[in-house]
Structure 1
């Protein structure tokens, strides 16, 4: 684009974004006024809400040079029950407003425990800024609909004046209240309270590995509030925490420390007057007189890439972007010292197993065009006792609901968003337009795991979303919240035997040597099912090896939409198997295509995909064994064919394929000798692949042709 064209496009984009914000505000306000907006009750962790708010707001604060701090009182339970989406919406609105009206200084989020009664807690949230402030008269009318503190605000900053009104109504729905304190030229503090239930873990704090208790920690920051916010949670983990206010003080404190009890780790702020954090770290790292070099973690309010890269060049041990939570600090300490966290892993596994048990008997329609994603979702859900029918795109999903058996045999729909023919948004709109399906839960599956994406899904009529690559625990928990088994299927009903435990990896795992593959992550995404994981790796090798050439061909023909979809698919399936370098490269390529970057930039991103993909494919060829051939004694292919058995097996398999029953693959293996005569030569292998990859429509068509005399 020329500079003038880019300017026009930018103005249109900004105007459209502003209009979308206005429409969303009005829709939320209308729902509240009509009593149609409900507050959910679900398990969540307060740290995760803060992280989500940070993701949405911190960049704007960084661009203005503002420091964003968050302090959570240590007596607040970590596991809570409430509506994390709406809580995040309120905090995001308050923090965004604070950033909008502050030109210098800091934004501080505080969360305090006011009261605990049994398993209920009352929390007080406050967002303080050092911005322009308001008069008493302006403050009094601020929470009225369509009113802003100053009539010039809309012209300068945009908005409807509805955001704070919506926040007030949401807080009231959560049993709390909102108020503010403000002084012109000094700043404003917005407060609100909410009542929440203590979560399933009854508020127990995460068990911290014992090795961390012996650490001696030094915190370096010129901002007194930031020092306090870092030191307080560290003091609940480590036995000795000292704070200093500058780089020179840090260097002096390290030198003066008893050499028999030196500091183990330093949390060093980056931007400080005089010697900044990088300079101080460089001096400490180069000091050969120290008996022990401490680990150094750089902490910054400004997540600039060049700072991160410089920290890596210096060999620093970690990098944190403010606001920093207790969980982030514990995770960093565990990573720096390579300490296993068995308690956390065991808790996660136990929670996933509990959530999976809630899915037994669920009937799920899966709308997903990618066969690897289909296979992972089907295997996970089927392993939890659910039955799954697959639709290869949104149109198929709509047809199965609208034109299939009535009432539809589904308790829930899992809907991918990016699909050919009809995407997830269009399919959901068609489904919701039919009054019969107004209460059918629809859960989106998306690779864009942002709060904006979740809100867009909710606005489109979906009930929730899970991100890809699929996390089994999140999938089970989310589906379990929306599936309500009929009373007759609960206590006293026949239960299927539990699936066998995951097959252990060999002591010397060849997958560990595959460049660009995190096999542990990939196995975790299929709940430890090693045979399924090996099958997925083989499919990835077969189906994605030509992805770069397919994308290049699509770009050459001018079909950018197809090229973007191919890159998106590669990103998703790479994430599913733990191929993180390919996932990252494909994500960058997808962004270049979407942004309509220059041909040179797109080609460079495409070359990056090939550079990451080639060694991965080579490693998979060497490390992934071919599937063992079927036992000839069990399924003798050369035995005389029984026409009656062949017709019966073909009829039953046709039924299973028509119903998208995932047991079709098992039936095919069990009846191999009866069905094989229908597919002579290489046709049998092709038919097997169709069934194994859940291409049931194509497989049924092939079978019907083969079985027709």
Structure 2
């Protein structure tokens, strides 16, 4: 029933540039295998609530379906002497699963309880264990990440979360430094501001050698066709499987993770210049550099992230920092000028470029404020916040650029 509703509402959410997330309480998932009732009526009610919530969902937002045990026990009846009360709640949330964007829509329904159907062990599927496996989940939707955490915890998974490519690189760098790398990466197929392809490329340049399980929802067929493990590009980037969203079953997550971990992973040598895909940074075509002087402390820049994105090629990293410093002078002024001229497309592109490059180089604070600026220019956040966002981005950009003056010239 949940899959039936999710398929229809998921496609409708996609048409509004939103996403459907299903949050199913673990005890409900395990205990509803034998429930019976009028499922057609339930589907109709859920679809009606979904349509109402979708009307309030902003672009890049979510519609969150939450299914919980009812707040009170249902009264026994002759028709259903043993019954359970379930509470269904549907609500639109803000961009990337933030604050509620609309009123909650909910109802409760009584179901008859039959003989319990034994569920597979929570920590094992087909005799294989996921206990203490380290997983990096990369998704800009906070609701989806919360559901992943809830589903993964009973399976024994240790789930770390990242909201974008920069956060994923930071998590990988910290894990590499602690000698506790990730066993698996769960990567959202619609990951902004970098898409899944760009994020996968950056992960493959970093110390991360974990296989990638692509998370794809309705309408993500293009990403799946490009990054499928059946395609050459998907195999070279280490994609070993596709996990369909929305996730409504912890056992489905377990089976997908186990299958991904069992599948052989054959990554091309990192230093091979004949790679079949074009990397966003030319690290694959630059020969190994001789040891150079260590980088000084750079205000606003986490050099561990930047060095990871260039495979610890300090000479290349220094060169990219200098180019960034010289190219981004007056970037926020250019955004402001484009906006005032009514060219929101150019304003968004300029803000996107600033956010993208700064995240790759490890300027994470600048990356975050530039992303906010990009969201405003794209119409995904209130335009009234533009002056403040421009000021915050300009101040942080100035701090980073001033600190980069110590690098001199190439």
- Where on the TM-score scale, by shorter chain, does this alignment land: which range? 0.3 to 0.5
Relative to its length, the structure with more helix (as a share) is: 1
- Who wins on radius of gyration, i.e. which is larger? 1
User: What's the TM-score once normalised by structure 1's chain length?
Assistant: 0.29
User: What's the TM-score once normalised by structure 2's chain length?
Assistant: 0.46
Higher relative contact order, structure no. (Cα contacts within 8 Å, ≥ 6 residues apart): 2
